[in-house]
Structure formats: structure tokens, C-alpha cells
Structure 1
Amino acid sequence: MSFCFSALQSSTIFNRIILRAVQVEGFTELTPALLGIFAHLSEKDGMSVSALAGALGSTRQAAHKHVGKLAASGYIELQTRRDNRKEKAVVLTPRGEALVKVALKVIADTEAEMARFLGRDRFEQYMKHQEALLHFLEGLEQAEGHRAPVAKKASCRL
């Protein structure tokens, strides 16, 4: 199995674990796509919809659609920025913050189980390797010149 496929499958399964757990806690309106938005908002609350679309790798139209659903469900709100009155910031509401808190606990608990499964040292080594590979791939994506087209052609599609 390729790194790309393995990473994609692991991420998909991990997200399903989180989604099921938050649904049990009453956050039932979510889908995997909507849940992914919270990872970005928990890191940088107050992102514009355009910045969120860029972080998600989606179009602004798709991001607006998702933001609308989350706002209607009470997870986020759009606030006018003081520095740019034309731009709205996507901000977590108390309900959104509660969801993030539950999700972070599920993530911590699942990572603890993974560390028990692999052993703490092996898990920590795995996490260091994951981070190094992430930075390497980000560099490939940002590279100019002869490497950029190669990186753009590579994909996880089968």
C-alpha cells in the first residue's frame, strides 16, 4: 500500500471515529466535510471564508456553502472585521467551542490508544516522521522549477 493511500485511509477512519463520538454527544448535524472545518478554525479562529477555502483546498463557493450550514446549526458565526469591513471572519460560537472540546478529547484518547498499541517510543517516532514528511510534502507543493509539476501530477487517486 502506498504512503498516500495509507495516509488517506488512516485520516478517513480517524475522522469517522471523531464524527461518531461527537454525534453521540449531540452534535448530530455534522458530516465529515463539515467536521474538517473545525480543525482549521480551532487553530486560527477568525479566518475569512476565502482563507478557510484555501486551507481546505476547496472553492470559495463550497466553503460558503459549508459555512452557511454550520452557521444555521449554531456552530459558527460571521463577524465583520474591524480592519476590513467588507470581509467577514468565521468565528466559533460557544456551541462550536464545545464541539471542538469534545473532538480534541476524542483525538487525545485515540492517540493514547494508538501509543499503547505501538508503544510510546514507536508512536512518538511515528509522529516525528509524520511531521517531517508533512513538511517535505509542503515543500514539494511550494517548490518552483522542475519539481513543482512532478508534485502536482502526483496524487492519491487510484
Structure 2
Amino acid sequence: MSTRFTMSLCFLSLETGKIFNKVIMQRLQEKGFEGLSEALIILFPYIDQAKKISSSELSRQVGYSRQAMHKNIKKLEELGYITLTLENQKEKMIAFTPKSEALMQEANGIIEAIENDLSELIGKEELEAYKNNQAKIYARLHSLL
């Protein structure tokens, strides 16, 4: 049996996501959004989707340990991307600041530009089919949890 490395669906999805995040992060830094890392950039879509989210829920969704999440939240707060508010006497809630709202707007423009580039590369229909298939794969894998 060969031990040759193969490009599995799992590996390709992981690597595509990592590269996509690196491109977004680099372009955001070029626009003046400083202090970001791959560990931090991953958090923005989750916070954006929830609007306000606890650190424990964010940690659960992202898959970070509580200690790692605490460190990342502290960094985002120091950089001015989030605020923390005590909502229920137990846990602080994370919310965006105007700086992170501007970051998300810029990131969405970057994502749109990348999608347009990919659409030119493989065709609009192929890109839409890819996105639809990725959504189906995600839903199926999520149902296995």
C-alpha cells in the first residue's frame, strides 16, 4: 500500500479555507486593519452572524479552547475591534465596534472581488455549483455530529 500523499476533499477544503483567510487578512492589512492573525480573522464571521455572542458560545462554535478564546477576545478588544458588555450577570457578551463594522464591509468587498476573479477563471455557473455543493457537503457532515 502506498503512503503517497493524496489531495482528499477534507484536505482541499481545509487548505482552500486557510489560503482564502490569508488573502483576506493580507488585503485587510493593506487597507490599514492592523494586528490581525489567522486565529483572529476566523472569529469575525461568527460574531457578525450572532451580532452579540458570549465567549463560551463563540469558543464552542469555532472549536477553540476557553483559554485560547479568552486570549483572542482580549487581543480583539485591545485592538478596538470588539466591546464586551455584561448582559446577564454571568457572562460578558461580545459585540462589534465601528472599526470591526468597517473591517467587515472591507472584507465583504474583498470576498466579492475574489469570487468575481474565480468566476472568470472557472465560469459563473461552475462557481455557483461549487458553492452549492460545498453547502450540501457541510450540511451532510454537520448532520453526522
Spell out the pairing of 1:78-97 with structure 2 (5 A cutoff): 78-81=84-87, 84-97=88-101
Q: Specify the SS of the correspondent of 1:47.
A: strand
Which 4+ runs in 1 deviate beyond 3 A?
A: none
Taking the aligned partners of 1:3 and 1:92, their CA distance within structure 2 comes to 34
Aligned length: 139
1:45 aligned onto 2:43: no
Q: 1:108 aligns with which of 106, 112, 123?
A: 112
1:128 aligned onto 2:132: yes
RMSD across aligned C-alpha pairs, in angstroms? Answer: 0.8
Partner of 1:23: 29
TM-score by length of 2: 0.93
Unaligned runs of 5+ in 1: 142-158
What is the identity percentage for the equivalent residue pairs of Structure 1 and Structure 2?
A: 35
Partner of 1:137: 141
Displacement after TM superposition at 1:92 (Å): 0.5
Q: 2:76 aligns with which of 62, 70, 73?
A: 70
Displacement after TM superposition at 1:59 (Å): 1.1
Taking the aligned partners of 2:23 and 2:53, their CA distance within structure 1 comes to 26
Taking the aligned partners of 1:131 and 1:28, their CA distance within structure 2 comes to 31
Taking the aligned partners of 1:44 and 1:116, their CA distance within structure 2 comes to 33
TM-score by length of 1: 0.86
